[in-house]
Amino acid sequence: MSATAAASAENNPGLTALTEEEELFRASVREFAEGEIRPKVEEMEHNSKLDAGIIKQCFELGLMAIESPEEYGGAGSTIFNAIVAIEELARVDASVSVFVDVHNTLVTNAFMRWASDEQKKKYLPQLAEGRVGAYALSEAASGSDAFALTTRAVDKGDHYELTGQKLWITNGNEAEIFILFATVDPAAGYKGITAFIVEKGFEGFTVGKKEDKLGIRASSTTELILDGCKVPKENVLGEVGKGYKVSIETLNEGRIGIGAQMLGIAQGAYEAALKYTTEREQFGQSINNFQAVQFQLAEMAVEIEATRLLVYNAARLKDAGKPFIKEAAIAKLYSSRCAEAVASKAIELFGGYGYVKDYPVEKYWRDSKIGSIYEGTSNMQLQTIAKLIMSGK
């Protein structure tokens, strides 16, 4: 290699290369995930509930305020570090991962981008210190058509009165601060949608049923009921009628977080399969001595590395202030496919043991399925990618 090529390689080590600081951060999150979360995964899965001690530790370790500015009690770090944390947590447990993910990439991100100075001073320290956040957009009739929501906000002079129902709200049981979307004028279509900051204790606000889910079972997914919920005027996030901008721009970053979650699931399933094939013996030798098994492991490794490149690329672009919407959509689409395929292959490599709950890979597969659904289905990602391609962007 020439001196010029060597210098170029050193200056451009690749998207998956981390700085020393990022490596230390990854190591600290992995230590927490392995030491504190892994021993409690089975119990949380069985109880369909996050461990209260784990939630407390997530705050104490700063995992709930990674991007939040230091002046508000956060780490003032990057989305790249946020997705590294999400990836490492999902490698052990996707439920804890999405708990941290939604709080950071959706809730805190929305406050940083759209909140007034007064709102930031009031809420960002709370979100950094111990109050969980949730993001309430979806409704029964507004899934992929997110702006078909019917939750109504009526101006009552010094406050708004919100009436309606939200569904599929991640962190619904644990959250105390909600970014909630309602329309001030149904006739105005998406231009009537407004984002509100709603606290759990507000009059007329109730957390409803928790969904009994296929995967990420310890993560609470709930309905929210608003029965004349009184929200102060100063709790409008952004501008009245501009909630569609809040939701679109926040979800663009959120998709990178989901990509990281799916990457972590794939990595965890792959590592479990690799370990098992080393230990499992058939015909007098470990099954990973057979070329057929080696090829399957190699295919899994290729898919994971491709996913990591896509996810990291989207995060690096976002941190650099460059366009990233298409890359985020690609990362989410590809990562959800990767997680499901790798986890499914891991089950097959485990054989009959992969199909029972005594071993971890069936959970990785169940946890992976949500990746193609929430924060924009795979079809919606394809639509976004196609739209940007066709527009020349």
Query: Comparing 393 with 232, which gets the higher pLDDT?
Result: 232
Are the CB atoms for 362 and 351 separated by under 8 Å? no
134-241 domain in CATH 3.40.50.720?
Answer: no
Q: What is the mean pLDDT of residues 127-138?
A: 98
In sequence order, which residues have a C-beta less than 8 Å from that of residue 67 and are 6 or more positions away? 74, 75, 76, 77, 78, 79, 81, 82, 104, 108, 109, 112
pLDDT category, 146, cuts 50, 70, 90? Answer: confident
Q: What is the pLDDT of residue 13?
A: 53
Give pTM, 2 decimals.
0.95
| Domain boundaries for CATH 2.40.110.10 within the chain | 134-241
Average pLDDT, the chain: 95
Q: Which of 92, 86, 93 is nearest to 63 (CA)?
A: 86
Span 253-298, pLDDT tens digits? 999 999 999 999 999 999 999 999 999 999 999 999 999 999 999 9
Task: Indicate the SS3 state at residue 204.
Answer: coil
Q: What is the pLDDT of residue 14?
A: 66
Span 8-41, pLDDT tens digits? 334 445 678 899 999 999 999 999 999 999 999 9
Are the CB atoms for 69 and 121 separated by under 8 Å? no
Separation between Cα atoms, residue 208 and residue 165, nearest integer Å: 9
Are the CB atoms for 277 and 314 separated by under 8 Å? no
Separation between Cα atoms, residue 151 and residue 165, nearest integer Å: 6
Q: Which of 72, 74, 53 is nearest to 63 (CA)?
A: 74
Where b means 16+ CB within 10 Å and e means fewer, 173-194 reads: bbbbbbbbbbbbeeeeebebbb
| Domain boundaries for CATH 1.10.540.10 within the chain | 14-131
β-bridge mates for residue 36, sequence order: none
Tokens 């010094």, residue located = 158
Please name the CATH architecture into which domain 245-390 falls: Up-down Bundle (1.20)
In sequence order, which residues have a C-beta less than 8 Å from that of residue 350 and are 6 or more positions away? 273, 276, 359, 361
Q: What is the mean pLDDT of residues 366-374?
A: 98
Separation between Cα atoms, residue 237 and residue 255, nearest integer Å: 21
Q: What is the pLDDT of residue 265?
A: 99
- Dihedral sign for Cα 150, 155, 158, 163, please: negative
β-bridge mates for residue 222, sequence order: 169, 210
Q: What is the mean pLDDT of residues 204-232?
A: 98
Domain 14-131 sits in CATH at 1.10.540.10
Separation between Cα atoms, residue 96 and residue 102, nearest integer Å: 10
Are the CB atoms for 197 and 237 separated by under 8 Å? yes
Of these residues, 67, 88, 253, 375, which one is catalytic? 375
120, 262, 325, 332 from 381: Cα distances, Å = 31, 15, 10, 8
Tokens 């994971």, residue located = 304
| Domain boundaries for CATH 1.20.140.10 within the chain | 245-390
Known active-site residue 22:
no
In sequence order, which residues have a C-beta less than 8 Å from that of residue 3 and are 6 or more positions away? none
Task: Indicate the SS3 state at residue 94.
Answer: helix
Q: What is the pLDDT of residue 393?
A: 66
